[in-house]
Amino acid sequence: MATLTVPATVPSVTEDCEQLRKAFSGWGTNEGLIIAILGHRNAEQRKLIRETYAETYGEDLLRALDKELSNDFERVVLVWTLDPAERDAFLANEATKRWTSSNQVLMEIACTRSANQLLHARQAYHTRYKKSLEEDVAHHTTGDFRKLLLPLVCSYRYEGDEVNMTLAKSEAKLLHEKISNKAYNDDDLIRVLATRSKAQINATLNHYKNEYGNDINKDLKADPKDEFLALLRATVKCLVRPERYFEKVLRLAINRRGTDEGALTRVVTTRAEVDLKIIADEYQRRNSVPLDRAIAKDTHGDYEKMLLALAGHVEA
């Protein structure tokens, strides 16, 4: 369930553009007006606003926002305003250029999008960067990380509910054998995670637990400090329980000393139109604190207001 709230009666796109132009005019920027408009429009509406703004004023709305805003508030507004496929392309490209948590971001995009969403992100990557996502992933990753990430970003999974229980049983056995032998980078182990439908993987992992007594992720914790094993565990979680994966990303982003604004912004902007309500419910269940209260405690100013708007927070 999404958390984004859109007014029952939405102003015309022309009026939205005029109001945004007004927000940029005069002394200082009217950040509240920007939040009131962009923080309450869906992807299709934001796309129309960008197109109409460019036609009317001869300037890309993103460029206008970039000139007027700064810091974390600027980033959340810019990332949110992008079309979802363009946003994924931007986040993936950014991830290929840095070391910290970049592998996780690439895996997250590959494993939590539908087959068509991932395909559209790869197409947007072509358009925006004049090269392919897979060539950048191959160039910027090495070893086991490349071996896992490349097939993940190239995947086009079947999305039906059909499950082959014979296959689930045989592949559960295969996974158990590979993990027992610590062959974590085995071609067949990666093939199962990178190509099977999410329904098929779920059936395989249920059989794994029933047959061998542990969740697969428990068996993948042989070395808690091993970064590749951590990425494998996150991959499994993204494929079968994405709300638990995103809850953990938010928990680590908010509860550490010093907020990880990058992770917080990424999760809120990419999930607000998808399943942020489910993630927020999981967050409250796990932490006994509502997500919007945790965000408000850890952020401030216009950045806080924009995040809360996207998270569906309503002032009492």
Known binding-site residue numbers for Ca(2+): 24, 26, 28, 68, 254, 256, 258, 296, 298-299, 304
- Contact status, residue 113 vs residue 198, Cβ threshold 8 Å: no
C-alpha closest to that of 112 among 246, 298, 222 = 246
Tokens of 150: 């490349």
The answer for residues whose C-beta is within 8 angstroms of residue 75's C-beta and 6 or more apart is 261, 265
Is the sign of the CA dihedral 216, 218, 219, 223 positive or negative?
positive
- Contact status, residue 40 vs residue 81, Cβ threshold 8 Å: no
Where is the binding site, in residues? Answer: 24, 26, 28, 68, 254, 256, 258, 296, 298-299, 304
Q: Which DSSP category does 221 fall into?
A: T
Tokens of 277: 């309500």
Helices then strands, each counted (H, E), the chain = 20, 0
Q: Which DSSP category does 28 fall into?
A: S
